[in-house]
Amino acid sequence: MRILMLGDVVGEPGRRLLEAFLPNLRRELSVDFVVVNGENAAHGYGITEKIARHWLEVLGVDVITTGNHALDVKGVSTYFQQEPRILRPANWSPGTPGNGYIKVHTKTNEEILIINLLGRIGITTLADCPFRAADAILARERADVALVDMHAEASSEKQAMGWYLDGRVSAVIGTHTHVPTLDCKILSNGTAFVTDVGMVGAHEGVIGMDRHSSLSRFLKVKGDKWKVAENDLQLHGVFIETKGRGASRIERVMKKLK
């Protein structure tokens, strides 16, 4: 299976990048399945039902993953309950609206399992253990291909999850910190891994947000209100090719809007 995983889409600039490049990327890479992290799609925080519907129904995104900002937009929890293709972290407390994983039958006549996990180091949102959550899901679900979005602050926690699931899933893809790392690789037991896939948004700022408002957070007792950055628009992601349950290839994808 040929999978395209795109990093956190940040605000309107990120949504514009997705519109501009996703159709061509699908054709260029002969992609079978597309996963996009949308937790920052609405003004940098959360996602709306309108945005998610457009991605799923018009752009052809197969699954939307999220993270600690999944339910930030007022009223969106109802949509998470209704639409199984948009995920929130699987290791949030029982009773949280929505689903933390989904199994999809693809056009290549394979089943793919997508699991959304949230790290606990440096994350203020309370979550249960992501390692035990992964164990529980994999104990009850079987699929030809399995992909994990490990949404976490600490590189160590993301790398630990990669090794923990090596050989049990096809890929562990780190998200959340918005800065692409150089360590795309196939681990020793066949799992594709990258510490952070990066983001889809404006890079003339601080992790997608306006640099002036971001700097104020470091220089003032009370910083300015955050705004989404607008310039140097770049799309970052990874292309994964699976072979059996494991992966045979992982490569970075980068596009820039001129």
pLDDT digits (tens, 9 = 90+) for 78-114: 999 999 999 999 999 999 999 999 999 998 889 999 9
Q: Write out the two tokens for 16.
A: 């514009």
Average pLDDT, whole number, for the chain? 96
Question: What value does the mean pLDDT take over residues 138-146?
Answer: 97
Which of the following CATH numbers is that of domain 2-256: 3.40.80.10, 3.10.290.10, 3.60.21.10, 3.30.300.10? Answer: 3.60.21.10
For residue range 175-213, what is the model confidence (pLDDT) as tens digits?
A: 999 999 999 999 999 999 999 999 999 999 999 889 999
User: For residue 223, what pLDDT band results from cuts at 50, 70 and 90?
Assistant: confident
pLDDT of residue 221: 86
Q: Which of 74, 79, 115, 111 is nearest to 98 (CA)?
A: 79
By three-state DSSP, how is residue 8 classified?
strand
Per-residue pLDDT band for 225 (boundaries 50, 70, 90) equals confident
Based on the residue annotation, tell me whether 203 is a catalytic residue of this protein. Answer: no
What are the domain boundaries of the chain?
2-256
**pTM summary value:** 0.96
The active-site residue, picked from 43, 54, 69, 212, is 69
Cα 151 to Cα 197: distance, rounded to the nearest angstrom: 10
Find, among 235, 151, 149, 233, the residue nearest to 200 by Cα.
Answer: 235
Residue range 244-253: mean pLDDT, rounded: 96
Per-residue pLDDT band for 54 (boundaries 50, 70, 90) equals: very high
Rounded to whole angstroms, the Cα distance separating 256 from 110 reads: 32
